Structures are given as C-alpha cells and as structure tokens.
Structure 1
Amino acid sequence: MAVLPRFLTDPDIGRHLLRDEGEVIVDEVRKHRIVYVVPALIACAGVAFLVVSAVASVQLAWLPMLLGFGLLVWAAWRALAANLDRFVITNMRVFRVNGVLSRSLATMPLGRILDITVVKPMTGRVLGYGHFTFESAAQDQGLREIRFVGAPDQRDLAIQRVVQRSGLRGPKVN
C-alpha cells in the first residue's frame, strides 16, 4: 500500500503525449539528487526542534514542536515538488510538467529550438548536473530554463539527435 496517492508522486507523463500522431518519449528527465539536499537540511532542523520540544518545559514545548512539524511539512513539500518536476524529450517536442496540487505544462516544438545552452557550475561538474537554457524565436516562453538536469551532456546530445533525425536542421554535409 502506497503512503501517498499516485497523483501526488507521479506526474503521469503519458497522458500528455500525442500517441495518435506517433509521439514517443526519448528521455524523461528527473531533477538531479542534489535538489533534495535543502529539503533534507530543513527536515534535520525540524527534527532538532522536535528534540528540543521533548526536553523543554511543558509550558514552552508547544513552540519548538510547532516549528519542528512546520519545518518537516515544508521539507516534504519541497522534496515532493522536486520529485514531480519532469522534463521530457519526445520525437516531436520538449516539455516540462511541474507542480504538486496544480500542474503546469510548458511545451516547445523541436522546430522552435534555435539554441540550447548547457551551464555546468563547478559543483555540477563534480556531481554530474547542469542547467539548460532554451532559446527560441519567441520572446516569452514557458520553457526557457531547466535547472538541475542530471547528465546534461548526454541529454543535450539526445535533443540534438532527435532534432537531426526529424530533419529540422537539414541533412548532414560530409
């Protein structure tokens, strides 16, 4: 039996695919594990407040207990939000689904991608994550920056391969 209902732990990517048009998933990208560090630290602070409430006087124990539970809930919310944030590469487009209670979907067809910038900060180079920035002809787009992508070089190559195979960049020149 699951602790949380499926709609809270799985963004259900399949329902956003254009299956009748032949769209298939090339890669579904979860956030890198580094995004769980801050929620873990917040949870540790919450546990510390709960420990303090256990040794505090009865009259004042409610305040650290309330803070501890509040921090634990906040940490769980941040971890759940990171778990539900997915970036998907298909043979037709790239899209991002995120949100816990309300979901948002940002889509960009492969033909609109003009440039992809991959930024790997020093810690990202060591731990294996990076950030994507998509440039398109549109001024404002819902899918501009994707942060904390694991194995960013391989993901970039996957996008470039899909764009090349779709014929959007023209044939290879020898």
Structure 2
Amino acid sequence: MSLLGRFLEPDVEAHLLAVEGEVVIDEVRKHWAATIWWYCLIALCIPLFLAMIWAKGLFWVPMLLGLAALFIGVWKVHLAYMDRFVITNMRVFRVHGVFTTHLATMPMTRILDISMTRPFLGMVFGYGHFVFESAAQDQGLRDIRFVGDPERRDLTIQRVIQLSGLRQTMKVERWSNDDDDEDGT
C-alpha cells in the first residue's frame, strides 16, 4: 500500500497472520450513527460561508468559523472511517488511527464474555456496543462502539469460537413430557 493510501484506507490485511492461515471473517466499519453529528457540523459551514456576504468588513470571522467547522467535521468523519473491528478465524482485533495506527487484539481463546448494549437509538437505527471480557486485568480491546447489525456480529463471533473447538457442546437428547414426570417436575 502506498504512503498516501495508508492515510486513506486502513490496511487490515497487513495485520493478518497469513502464514498461520488467518483469514478475515468479518470487517466491521463504524455505523453511520457514530458520525451523524460530525456531518451536521460539516453542513453548518454552508450558512457560515453564506454569512460572509453580510459580514462585509468582518467576513473573516464567519470564514474562519466555517473553515474550522469543515476541517473538524471532515477529520472526525475520517477518524471514524479508519476505525475497523475485525473478526478472523483466530482472533478479534481493532485497528484505528490515521497518522498513528493503534492495534488491539484478543485471541478467541481469551474471550470469556461478550456483552452487547443496544441503546434506544441503537434499536431504531440498527447499531449496538460490545464489551469484551477476558481474564486479563488491562486489555487493549474492551469497548467496541457503534457496531452495525450487532446481533449478527455476535452470532458470527460465537460461531467462530464454536467451530474452532474452544467451547464444548453438550449433547441434548430429545426430551418428552413423560421424562418430566419421572423427576417430579
């Protein structure tokens, strides 16, 4: 990937253990709801630029405010775009950052508990937040916010853990109503 390309698109493939056979199962971008307020800030620059017409001698005040709103909004939207949560056949990891790349990873064997929170707006717009628990006290991968379609992502993680043989499966025989009477229930 070129130098400019590294600032425009996160290089998820560079973090894979290809020699070990690691493949991406799901690459999750932030949900659009994570950036809606930054898009509103970008839209605010339009009336600020139009205010330059009426400001006459002080045109530079709305111009600077408009440029600041535009720069901050575009920067925050790009930061959210560069934030990726990746589920592979071996681990989950999050890579984010533009000039400095941060990588937090957790092997599937270390995941003890996954909790998902869907706030009211998350239920309306289709996003949720994950919290990963492991045996380690301090971990780099704990909170993953604004995950689109969180139920499907949770099932994907559970399926990868199950198919890798990290959790045992209990064989359940078919129960009938007669069996319930034998133990008094």
TM-score, length-scaled by structure 2:
0.88
- Which residue does the alignment assign to 2:5? 6
- Which residue does the alignment assign to 1:136? 134
- Which residue does the alignment assign to 1:122? 120
- Which residue does the alignment assign to 1:45? 44
In 2, distance between residues paired with 1:81 and 1:172? 44
In 2, distance between residues paired with 1:54 and 1:162? 59
Q: Secondary structure at the match of 2:141?
A: coil
Identify the range of structure 1 (72-81 vs 8-17) with the bigger mean alpha-carbon deviation. 8-17
Alpha-carbon deviation of 1:172?
4.1
CA contact (8 A) 1:47 1:72 kept: no
CA contact (8 A) 1:42 1:72 kept: yes
In 1, distance between residues paired with 2:53 and 2:30? 36
Cα-Cα RMSD: 1.0
- Which residue does the alignment assign to 1:93? 91
TM-score, length-scaled by structure 1:
0.94
In 2, distance between residues paired with 1:82 and 1:19? 26
Residue ranges of structure 1 left out of the alignment (5+ in a row): none
Alpha-carbon deviation of 1:63?
1.2
Alignment of 1:94-173 (within 5 A): 94-173=92-171
In 1, distance between residues paired with 2:53 and 2:81? 32
Cα deviations across residues 48-72 of structure 1 (Å, max 9, x unaligned)? 21111122112x1111101110110
Identify the range of structure 1 (37-46 vs 66-75) with the bigger mean alpha-carbon deviation. 37-46
- Which residue does the alignment assign to 2:177? none
- Which residue does the alignment assign to 1:19? 18
In 2, distance between residues paired with 1:105 and 1:172? 35
Q: Secondary structure at the match of 1:137?
A: coil
Alpha-carbon deviation of 1:35?
1.6
In 2, distance between residues paired with 1:84 and 1:99? 6
In 2, distance between residues paired with 1:160 and 1:170? 12
Identify the range of structure 1 (40-49 vs 82-91) with the bigger mean alpha-carbon deviation. 40-49
Q: Secondary structure at the match of 2:56?
A: coil
Which has the larger Rg? Answer: 2
Residue ranges of structure 2 left out of the alignment (5+ in a row): 173-185
CA contact (8 A) 1:96 1:106 kept: yes
Cα deviations across residues 84-121 of structure 1 (Å, max 9, x unaligned)? 10000000000000011111000000010000001001
- Which residue does the alignment assign to 2:54? 55
